[in-house]
A and B are shown apart, each in its own frame.
Chain A
Amino acid sequence: MGRKLDPTVKVKRGPGRKARKQKGAETELSKFLLLPIERAARKQKKQTSKKPGSDDDEDEDEEEEDDDDEEDEKDDLKEDEEEEEDTVQANFDETETFKLPAAADRAKEGLLQMDLQTIHQRIRDNVDVLSHFSEKREEGKERSEYLSLLRSDLCTYYSYNEFLISKLMDIFPVSELIDFLEANEIQRPVTIRTNTLKTRRRDLAQALINRGVNLDPLGKWSKVGLVIYDSSVPIGATPEYLSGQYMLQGASSFLPVMALSPQEGESVLDMSAAPGGKTTYMAQLMRNTGMIVANDANADRLKSVVGNIHRLGVTNAVICNYDGRQFPKVMGGFDRVLLDAPCSGTGVISKDPGVKTGKDEADVLRSAHLQKELILSAIDSVNADSPTGGYLVYCTCSIMVEENEWVVDYALKKRNVKLVPTGLDFGKEGFIRFKERRFHPSLKLSRRFYPHSQNMDGFFVAKLKKLSNTIPTQQKPASTPEKSNMGKKQKLKPEKSETPIITKKAGVKSENKKSDGPKKAKIAKLDGETSKKSAKPNKKQKVKELNGDSTKEVVIEKKKGSQFEKNNKTKNKNLLKKNKNRMGKNKFKKLKNMVGQ
């Protein structure tokens, strides 16, 4: 409160104290939240309505990014100083528009310590403006300016790095983004999974309640989950825990195993098993029959897998320490495979806040590369002709599109697989398009889970079915996929091994029968594949057109189609070239037998 320097100047004052009190506490406080700079800016705007000349230009010049006009800066600073001396109280009216501070002011803010409350208020206002952009925007200010201000505010307020915030802004609409960031600040509730090999959920709940634990069933979607609200004993050390009646596990980790639903007597591979929660869940679903191979590349973390497996009484598990990419070589022909790929961890920020600042572009791309290699190995380890299975579930605890939809889309292109419904009826559908990328429309069947909407760690689950054991060759020579299939034949149990080379398509089979000689069979088979491939882009085209999407996408799809055609031509070329080399005797005999059938 200062003395009025010029009593003749009439200052417009807002609603009085009583009126403000009736409005609510917020309006009272907002008086103090405004920085003198912002007050001055507001005042200046009022003045420009009187002087529509030079001030307007100055205002607009200031808002232009980066090109700092020194003169304008000086003028602006002078005016600010004068107005600060005036010490006029500008009352904040909620219906007034949110003003972007000048570029010069923002540079000053780096030196001033802006308190979090102000930033938070500014974020809220900014989001409000962005949600109703046409009504609430300032004249002459671009959306990108509001966004860049929001970006830097979010970075400061929630302590993220620029890269991550930009990525998140691409994935979420602005209002959801705030929910997501808020959800990452608090922990998800502790959940446990009943071990049905040793007890029932009802009995376990009773026993834990007797010990003084406050719990509830997890939800309709799970018959074995329990959520712990609070407990007087440490949940990880009760005698029930030690005797293996339950396992501490995040709710989102239930989902990939539920999607995979391994049946009794199947052989299953868990490629990144540590710490063993999903492996043990699979074992309990299989009632300790069949076989599970639990693999992890990290030998230290494998110890926890061993511990958990023994504690929960799993007897059908083999634990090994390979790099997941070696998999089809070590062992193949599994009925089902679960790949919980190592990722950047952007879905579990509430558990590990280091992700906020520690991850950047290179990390995400590195993860994505590894995941692509792993998913191809995983697909190759599945036996497509398995009578009960042939499924692969790919999941990550990340929400980045590069690690999720992109990897699955890559797999769809590189192998004979297709997406099938996960069986999880809640959660958000996967993206079909993201920025400039377009994914296969079946990616709608994958599911995304978020901390703010489902109250579980961020997760992505996709279920794939392998259609055939052949690997579609694009640049690879024809003999290598055959070799791997031969190997698979040897490893497969005798009942299961039909001829893996002949695809299930009836049309192709008839072609094979007609052709004489195995070489032509190969060409015919690959032609069958290529015709399948060329059918795919056409389907895509039709789907896109039906959806009534923009012509741009149709163009893109057409381009893809032509790409495939190109590849077909190169395939035939390679084949002819390859056929000049001779085939081994055994292969010849085998093929001959197959064709004979």
Chain B
Amino acid sequence: MFRIGENIRLLIDRPDGTYCFRLHNDRVYYMSERILKLATNISRDKLVSVGTCFGKFTKTQKFRLHITALDFLAPYAKFKVWVKPGSEQSFLYGNHIMKSGLGRITENTAQYQGVVVYSMADVPLGFGVAAKTTQECRKVDPMSIVVFHQADIGEYIRSEDTLT
């Protein structure tokens, strides 16, 4: 899921101060250093969240990116997929995107490349993985899956509990 690559530096050195990542209770949080300092006053077991949670480490130490990181990663995404209005809701319910719902896709998307899914109004909807390369997408039939669903903003309602 190396989807922003070198752009990570852009997340660390921002014009309004340095930001940093911190690990707390198996979750990775992204915050400015100012907040970090002030948050040290709060004891570990009482601290619920700082700044934005980007994702968590699972029991087997794999990193799972959360939907909450969407706002930060979306501007730096190299590969984007646009969804037609009709299939928007379907994606928000957690389904994969089919060729019939595909609006646009960035050129030269490799297979199994991490992508950010947008609506036609350029509103970021979530993360996905390209199931086919851009070339293949043109050839394949309308019922086949082109983007695997990974995370979408519908999760704010569906799985509120797992956000913390």
Report which A residues bind B (CB closer than 8 A).
207, 236-237, 239-240, 242-244, 267, 289, 291, 293, 299, 302-307, 309-311, 313, 315-322, 330-331, 491
Residues from 1 to 47 in B contacting A, C-beta threshold 8 Å: 16, 30-32, 34-35, 38-39, 41-43, 46-47
Report whether A303 and B164 are in contact in the complex, using a CB–CB cutoff of 8 Å. Answer: yes
CA distance A421 to B52 in the complex (A): 35
Q: B103-111, B128-136, B150-158: which lies at the A interface? A: B150-158
Distance (whole angstroms) from the CB of B11 to the closest CB of chain A: 12
CA distance A291 to B33 in the complex (A): 11
Report whether B157 and A243 are in contact in the complex, using a CB–CB cutoff of 8 Å. Answer: no
Distance (whole angstroms) from the CB of A311 to the closest CB of chain B: 5
Report whether A306 and B49 are in contact in the complex, using a CB–CB cutoff of 8 Å. Answer: yes
CA distance A237 to B152 in the complex (A): 13
- Chain B residues positioned under 8 Å from A236 (CB to CB): 157
- Chain B residues positioned under 8 Å from A243 (CB to CB): 123-125, 153
Report whether B46 and A316 are in contact in the complex, using a CB–CB cutoff of 8 Å. Answer: no
Report whether A303 and B160 are in contact in the complex, using a CB–CB cutoff of 8 Å. Answer: yes
> Which residue of chain B has its CB nearest to the CB of A245?
B123
Report whether A331 and B53 are in contact in the complex, using a CB–CB cutoff of 8 Å. Answer: no
Report whether B47 and A291 are in contact in the complex, using a CB–CB cutoff of 8 Å. Answer: no
Contact of B51 among A242, A299, A311, A315 (CB under 8 A): A315
Tell me whether A319 and B49 are in contact in the complex, defined as CB-CB below 8 angstroms, given that A239-B88, A239-B92, A306-B163 are known contacts. yes
**What are 30 of the A-B contact pairs (CB < 8 Å)?**
A237-B157, A239-B88, A239-B89, A239-B119, A242-B156, A242-B157, A243-B123, A267-B38, A291-B34, A293-B38, A303-B160, A306-B53, A306-B164, A307-B156, A307-B160, A310-B68, A311-B68, A311-B156, A315-B51, A315-B52, A317-B49, A317-B50, A318-B38, A318-B47, A318-B51, A319-B48, A319-B49, A319-B50, A320-B48, A330-B46
CA distance A267 to B38 in the complex (A): 10
> Which residue of chain A has its CB nearest to the CB of B70?
A243
Report which B residues bind A (CB closer than 8 A).
16, 30-32, 34-35, 38-39, 41-43, 46-53, 68, 71, 88-89, 92, 119, 121, 123-125, 153-154, 156-157, 160-161, 163-164
Distance (whole angstroms) from the CB of B46 to the closest CB of chain A: 5
Contact of B32 among A240, A315, A319 (CB under 8 A): A315
Contact of B31 among A207, A304, A315, A331 (CB under 8 A): A315
CA distance A195 to B163 in the complex (A): 21
CA distance A399 to B86 in the complex (A): 47
Report whether B32 and A302 are in contact in the complex, using a CB–CB cutoff of 8 Å. Answer: no
Report whether B52 and A320 are in contact in the complex, using a CB–CB cutoff of 8 Å. Answer: no
CA distance A578 to B91 in the complex (A): 71
- Chain B residues positioned under 8 Å from A331 (CB to CB): 38, 41-42
CA distance A471 to B54 in the complex (A): 42
Tell me whether A303 and B32 are in contact in the complex, defined as CB-CB below 8 angstroms, given that A310-B68, A311-B156, A313-B71 are known contacts. no
Report whether A306 and B48 are in contact in the complex, using a CB–CB cutoff of 8 Å. Answer: yes
Report whether B35 and A318 are in contact in the complex, using a CB–CB cutoff of 8 Å. Answer: yes
Report whether B35 and A320 are in contact in the complex, using a CB–CB cutoff of 8 Å. Answer: no
Report whether A321 and B156 are in contact in the complex, using a CB–CB cutoff of 8 Å. Answer: no
- Chain B residues positioned under 8 Å from A310 (CB to CB): 52-53, 68, 156, 163
CA distance A330 to B51 in the complex (A): 19
Most-contacted residue by chain B among A305, A306, A313, A322 (CB, 10 A): A306
Distance (whole angstroms) from the CB of B90 to the closest CB of chain A: 12
Contact of A242 among B46, B49, B92 (CB under 8 A): B92
Most-contacted residue by chain A among B34, B35, B124, B125 (CB, 10 A): B35
- Chain B residues positioned under 8 Å from A316 (CB to CB): 32, 35, 51
- Chain A residues positioned under 8 Å from B157 (CB to CB): 236-237, 242
Most-contacted residue by chain A among B71, B88, B89 (CB, 10 A): B71
- Chain B residues positioned under 8 Å from A242 (CB to CB): 92, 153-154, 156-157
Distance (whole angstroms) from the CB of A111 to the closest CB of chain B: 51
Distance (whole angstroms) from the CB of B66 to the closest CB of chain A: 8
- Chain B residues positioned under 8 Å from A319 (CB to CB): 47-50
Distance (whole angstroms) from the CB of B2 to the closest CB of chain A: 23
Report whether B35 and A303 are in contact in the complex, using a CB–CB cutoff of 8 Å. Answer: no
CA distance A244 to B125 in the complex (A): 11
